[in-house]
């Protein structure tokens, strides 16, 4: 199979894989379409199963940009994509940068962030520098969602139950806060109960944010809102949701989730929906204009569930 995107032959693609299910999901989807996948797995992050899925797999240290460029050039690759998380908490470890034994190119590129401190360490700052570094070496990093558009979830109610009145108020309240956190490049998720913010995601990630909210909320039933940044670059740090995070929600007492339609990657979709329905958790994918509506555009109960409730009543 040969696909063309913005005039490029995408029969062979490079994949830079971090932590999580998303790189695995993306590699499997590309292989199903007949695309050759050449994977660089970030050390201590990438899932080992990628070795069996991809045509070529090689480990990559965090400070080894020149190794990455050679890998792409040696395999004749001019296009690639990044997928998965990097544990940003590592940046706080003493002497982290030098422990990576960075190559000269990496030192030069990230000198303003880690040494002179002329630039900050926000996600957008760091990942934009990575994208620019690849571009300087004639390698174009594309959004994974351009390669596999169906990764993005459309506007819909994904679960049988929709948000009740209180959950919808929390969604609308939290949406604006989450967007502002994204604009500041702090995080993508907030946890809300009774229109009060329980927790805001920062460097710890979504799951730890949810666990913290659960530890603070004495009563179960808070709501999680996860959105894209207003300035979202779809090549990196795209909000992603899967089964592991849903299980964290359930264990922590969250009972509703709102994600941003057409801007959120939704993996393990059927497993997520089945688990949510089993545990009566709401999942809706909405647009910004929905968050300004007084009432939810999605019914709390489907007709057959209303009938069941009336019979039991």
| CA distances (Å), origin 127, targets 81, 121, 134, 147, 232 | 12, 10, 11, 19, 12
According to the CATH classification, is domain 152-312 in 3.90.1300.10? no
Residue whose structure tokens are 């571009």: 135
What is the rounded average pLDDT of the residues 274-296?
97
Residue ranges of the domains in the chain?
4-147, 152-312
Q: Is the pLDDT of residue 303 over 70?
A: no
What is the rounded average pLDDT of the residues 249-254?
97
Give residue 185's pLDDT band: very low, low, confident or very high (50, 70, 90). Answer: very high
Helix (H, G, I), strand (E, B) or coil at 77: coil
| 134 in Cβ contact with 71 (< 8 Å) | no
| CA distances (Å), origin 92, targets 36, 188, 203, 298 | 36, 20, 10, 43
What is the rounded average pLDDT of the residues 253-277?
96
Q: What is the pLDDT of residues 218-246, one digit of tens each?
A: 778 999 999 999 999 999 999 999 999 99
What pTM, to 2 d.p., does this model score? 0.89
Query: Which residues are CB-neighbours of 280 under 8 A, at least 6 positions away?
Result: 161, 255
Please state which architecture CATH assigns to domain 4-147.
Answer: 3-Layer(aba) Sandwich (3.40)
Give residue 8's pLDDT band: very low, low, confident or very high (50, 70, 90). Answer: low
Q: What is the pLDDT of residues 35-87, one digit of tens each?
A: 999 999 999 999 999 999 999 999 999 899 999 999 999 999 999 999 999 88
The two structure tokens encoding residue 220: 């179960």
Q: How many angstroms separate the first and last alpha carbons of the chain? A: 57
Lowest mean pLDDT among 212-221, 247-256, 265-274, 279-288: 212-221
| 239 in Cβ contact with 245 (< 8 Å) | no
Angle CA 62–234–201, to nearest 5: 70
Cα(177)–Cα(199) distance, integer angstroms: 11
Q: What is the pLDDT of residues 88-129, one digit of tens each?
A: 877 777 777 677 789 999 999 999 998 899 999 899 999 999
Q: What is the pLDDT of residues 146-173, one digit of tens each?
A: 999 999 999 999 999 999 999 999 999 9
Best CA proximity match to 12, nearest among 126, 204, 142:
142
């Amino acid at each position: 199979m040969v696909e063309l995107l913005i005039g490029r032959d995408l029969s062979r693609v490079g994949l830079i894989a971090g932590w999580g299910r998303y790189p695995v999901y993306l590699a499997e989807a590309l292989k199903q379409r007949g695309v050759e996948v050449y994977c660089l797995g970030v050390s201590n992050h990438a899932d080992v199963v990628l070795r069996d899925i991809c045509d070529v797999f090689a480990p990559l240290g965090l400070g080894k940009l020149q190794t990455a460029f050679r890998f792409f050039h040696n395999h004749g690759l001019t296009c690639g994509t990044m997928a998965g998380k990097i544990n940003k908490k590592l940046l706080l470890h003493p002497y982290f940068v030098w422990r990576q034994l960075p190559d000269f190119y990496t030192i030069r590129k990230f000198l303003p962030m880690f040494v002179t401190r002329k630039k900050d360490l926000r996600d957008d700052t760091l990942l934009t520098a990575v994208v620019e570094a690849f571009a300087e070496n004639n390698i174009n990093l594309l959004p994974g969602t351009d390669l596999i558009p169906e990764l993005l979830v459309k506007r819909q109610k994904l679960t049988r139950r929709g948000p009740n009145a209180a959950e919808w108020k929390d969604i609308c309240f939290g949406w604006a806060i989450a967007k502002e956190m994204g604009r500041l490049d702090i995080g993508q998720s907030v946890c809300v109960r009774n229109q009060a913010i329980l927790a805001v995601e920062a460097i710890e990630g979504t799951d730890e944010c949810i666990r913290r909210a659960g530890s603070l909320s004495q009563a179960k039933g808070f709501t999680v809102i996860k959105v894209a940044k207003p300035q979202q670059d779809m090549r990196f740090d795209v909000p992603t949701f899967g089964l592991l995070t849903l299980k964290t929600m359930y264990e922590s007492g969250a009972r509703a989730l709102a994600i941003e339609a057409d801007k959120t990657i939704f993996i393990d979709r059927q497993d997520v929906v089945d688990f949510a329905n089993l545990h009566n958790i709401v999942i809706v994918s909405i647009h910004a204009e929905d968050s300004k509506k007084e009432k939810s555009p999605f019914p709390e109960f489907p007709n057959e569930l209303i009938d069941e409730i009336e019979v039991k009543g």
